[in-house]
Structure 1
Amino acid sequence: MKVEQIYTGCLAQGAYYIESKGEVAIIDPLREVKPYIERAKQDNAKIKYIFETHFHADFVSGHVTLAKETGAPIVYGPNANPTFDAIIAEDNQEFKLGDLTIKVLHTPGHTMESTTFLLIDENGKDHAIFSGDTLFLGDVGRPDLAQKMGVLTERDLAGFLYDSLREKIMPLADDVVVYPAHGAGSACGKNMMKETIDTLGNQKKMNYALRADMTKEEFIDEVTEGLLPPPQYFPLNVKLNKEGYEDIEQVLERGTTALSPKAFETAANETGAIVLDVGHQDDYAKGHIPRSIFIGLDGSFAPWVGALIADVQQPILLVTPNGMEEEAVTRLSRVGFDNTLGYLEGGFEAWKKAAMEYDTVSQIDAKGLKEKVASEEAPVFDVRKESEFLSEHMLVANNTPLDYLNDHLAEFPDNEPFYVHCAGGYRSMIASSILKSRGIHNLIDVKGGFKAIKEAEIPVSEYVCPSTL
């Protein structure tokens, strides 16, 4: 028996490869499926099943392409209604995989089709659960993503989730391994652990949602408290996962079309495409195409694209570091952004050599900011999440979270310089690029972010542990 977690950090997503006696099951595959096919070939094995825990909202799964490439059926739990051929399993239905058994545990709550798959070993012992977004490590899946699919409210779904956890998952043995679909950083939960694998017994001890003495009403209150609006691209990803999508090879072929600076400029003007610069924030500050948006590959690239661009049909033109164009197109496709039209051949340096117009971002280090704050009333805008800001922040700072930057545009000064920072510099450069694309150029980015601000001993609020907020 082989069980492998294939974890993708930029999405905080876990896919799973299970093999026994030459037969393979893949659970919640990513959009690009070649690694699973090649992995099975290495084991001289055949992919027999593709299991989907639910219709994912935060990424486009590879189930449709993988089924096409291998002939393996796609398996969902009860209540699923895809438009393509799939096995809609019954609760407690079992699937044989070599010496192993995979049992369907219908666990509605995150969504109504949400299903946990129980892996039973060759001796008939419960070995692991693949819990999708039903049970995370330290948390459970948010119950508000399926509201628009029917008349159920988030409190209704939270009630279903309470029953699912207590009737299907908590009765399992403590040594059962928990393999969730996501880890810390995913927008599908609120407070996940940084670990990606744990035992059910440990989760029963430390996961607030699995407290044995918790009433249903208490559970509903806690699970629904503090839920922020889901990213706008989530419903569009659900639609793609339910109805199918373009083959990723076609997306890659189109998106990796090399364009000269002139052709790139023409394409941007004629198509209304967003110019997306995916390099490093320091390079973007030194020079970039005017009105381009920065979202670097080195950070949580795909989730930020989804949160800030929202429309998966939006045409995109890429400015990438040399050789990273295919990586950028692939990551965009993972969250449903398939309309990439090409990339700037030679990158920003080619743009400069062609004597094309370019822009820069003014920056200041924390030491310089400290002097400004001490000598004048310097407007400072902190683009971290509200929870980060409340836990600790500059005394003079305003909180304008990057996720909701458009809601705060009127708060930025029209003429006088103002300062923008985040935790380390990645998000503040995204914010700077968005502001500049909207004609707001009197900003100054704080290099190193809040980490550097604290090291410079600029006055900050008293620290409050985020768990007490």
Structure 2
Amino acid sequence: MKVEQIYTGCLAEAAYYIESEGEAAIIDPLRDTKPYVERAQKDGATIKYVFETHFHADFVSGHIDLAKQTGAKIVFGPLGKPAYEAYTATDGEEFMLGKIKIKAIHTPGHTMESTCFLLIDETGKSTAIFTGDTLFIGDVGRPDLAQHVISDMTEQKLAGHLFDSLREKIIPLADDLIVYPGHGAGSACGKKMSKETTDTLGNQKKFNYALNLSLTKEQFITEILTGLVPPPAYFPQNVLMNIKGYESLEDVMQRGSQALSPEAFEAAANETEAVILDVRDAQTFAKGFIPNAINIGLDGQFASWVGTLIPDVKQPILLVTEAGSEEETITRLARVGYDNCVGYLSGGIKTWKESGKEMDSVLSLSAAEFAELFSTNPELHVLDVRKKSEYVSEHVVGVENMPLDFLNDHMALVKKDKINYLHCAGGYRSMIAISILKARGFENLVDIAGGFAAIKADGTLSLTDYVCPSTLL
């Protein structure tokens, strides 16, 4: 028997490969199916099942394409009834995989169809549980997402279901079970997940706040719902794609892989009203880019920031990438349902510049340069675009918080009659914010390279006292 976690850091998402006696199962695959197919081929195994723990909100699953490519059966738990061919398991139903069994355990709460899958080895011993978004390491799945798809399903109702699922289905299981969750730290599907991506259930019973048996149901609901921020706009759109089905990734890749000359690129931008998405490194982008382009670098949590900041998954997108990154970019967009990439700039920004077309740039200061300015002019207008919890835990005294997640709600903080200095934690998010603001007509924007980490390392400026983020809501 083999169990492997296939983790994708960009989405903080974990898929799983399980194999026994030449038969394999995949749990919660991403849309690009190649890694799973190749893993099975390496073992000479046939993919028999694709198990889906629920209708995912933060990514488009690869279950449909994977089933078509391999002949595997798609399996959902109770209440999982999609618009395409799939098998709906009953609570407690077992599936043979070689010499092992996989048992469906219905655990509504994150969503109503949420189901965990219990792994039973050749001897009949339960050895692991694949919990999807029901149970994370240090957290549980947020219970407010389904209400954005089903109007009468309130977050309070779902939180109540989650309490019952954890108490009746999960906590009674053996302490030595290995917990394999659907996500790790960085996912928007929970609020305080651990960086660890596996643990024993016994440890989680000791340290996971949501498994605290002293909490009443009412206290649990309050605790789970406190501190949740609104989910990204693309979440309900991804849920519907996972329920209704979607275009094959092969077709999406073919459409997006159109190499466009600067002239054709400019014409396409005008005709389609596409967003020009520049995925180069933030500091490379700052030195020269196409006017009105948005910078979301591939080197960060690219897919989740695209989903957060481009609200419509059907939005036409034109790409500017480093040479050779086109395919990776289109794939990562498709993982979160952005299938309408209409082409990329052939030769990258170099060809645009050589064609003599207009360029824009961003002034970027080092932390030392900024500290010297701020020390002599405390009235400098500085915006910290980190999350509220990051800002509250520690920040430069005298700066304002304008979280990138909710940039639209905080536009009034940007002063048109002053120079606005922006920073985040390390320089990735501040350049995203600046590029969006410039595309909307704001000027006088300066980036602080290296962000808060560099400012803190410089040691010149006063910071608020550090508060452990785990104590923050």
User: TM-score, structure 2 length as denominator?
Assistant: 0.98
* Match of residue 471 from structure 2: 468
Matched, 1:458 2:461: yes
Of residues 373, 381, 387, the one that matches 1:379 is 381
* Match of residue 412 from structure 1: 414
* Match of residue 179 from structure 2: 178
* Match of residue 92 from structure 2: 92
* Match of residue 434 from structure 2: 432
Q: CA deviation at 1:406?
A: 1.3
State which drifts further: 41-50 or 290-299: 41-50
State which drifts further: 134-143 or 439-448: 439-448
Q: Distance in 1 between matches of 2:338 and 2:280?
A: 18
Q: Distance in 1 between matches of 2:95 and 2:352?
A: 56
Q: Letter of the aligned partner of 1:327 in structure 2?
A: E
Q: CA deviation at 1:118?
A: 0.3
- Aligned positions, number: 469
Q: CA deviation at 1:428?
A: 0.3
* Match of residue 79 from structure 2: 79
State which drifts further: 62-71 or 183-192: 62-71
Q: Percent identity?
A: 64
SS in 1 for 2:370: helix
SS in 2 for 1:50: strand
Q: Residue by residue, what CA displacement relative to the aligned partner does 1:87-141 show, whole Å, maximum 9, x if unpaired?
A: 1110001110010001010000000000000010000000100000000000000
Q: Distance in 2 between matches of 1:35 and 1:386?
A: 36
Q: CA deviation at 1:371?
A: 2.1
SS in 2 for 1:297: coil
* Match of residue 335 from structure 1: 336
Q: Distance in 1 between matches of 2:437 and 2:390?
A: 21
RMSD: 0.9
* Match of residue 302 from structure 1: 303
Q: Distance in 1 between matches of 2:375 and 2:175?
A: 56
Q: Distance in 2 between matches of 1:113 and 1:74?
A: 14
SS in 1 for 2:136: coil
SS in 1 for 2:138: coil
Q: Letter of the aligned partner of 1:217 in structure 2?
A: E
Of residues 447, 452, 455, the one that matches 2:449 is 447
* Match of residue 356 from structure 2: 355
Q: Letter of the aligned partner of 1:326 in structure 2?
A: E
SS in 2 for 1:262: helix
Q: CA deviation at 1:415?
A: 2.3
SS in 1 for 2:436: helix
Matched, 1:256 2:257: yes
SS in 2 for 1:31: coil
Instruction: Say if 2:375 and 2:461, in contact at 8 Å, map to a contact too.
Output: no
* Match of residue 265 from structure 1: 266
Q: Distance in 2 between matches of 1:50 and 1:153?
A: 29
SS in 2 for 1:276: strand
Instruction: Say if 2:192 and 2:470, in contact at 8 Å, map to a contact too.
Output: no
Moved over 2 A (4+): none
Structure 1's unaligned 5+ residue stretches are none
Q: Distance in 2 between matches of 1:345 and 1:150?
A: 45
Q: Residue by residue, what CA displacement relative to the aligned partner does 1:245-280 show, whole Å, maximum 9, x if unpaired?
A: 111011111111111111111110111000000010
Q: Letter of the aligned partner of 2:457 in structure 1?
A: E
Q: Letter of the aligned partner of 1:441 in structure 2?
A: E
Q: CA deviation at 1:461?
A: 1.1
SS in 1 for 2:318: strand
* Match of residue 209 from structure 1: 210
Q: Distance in 1 between matches of 2:463 and 2:451?
A: 13
Q: CA deviation at 1:150?
A: 4.3
Q: Distance in 2 between matches of 1:220 and 1:295?
A: 36
Q: How does 1:133-172 map to 2 (within 5 A)?
A: 133-148=133-148, 149-172=150-173
SS in 2 for 1:175: coil
Matched, 1:393 2:427: no
* Match of residue 55 from structure 1: 55
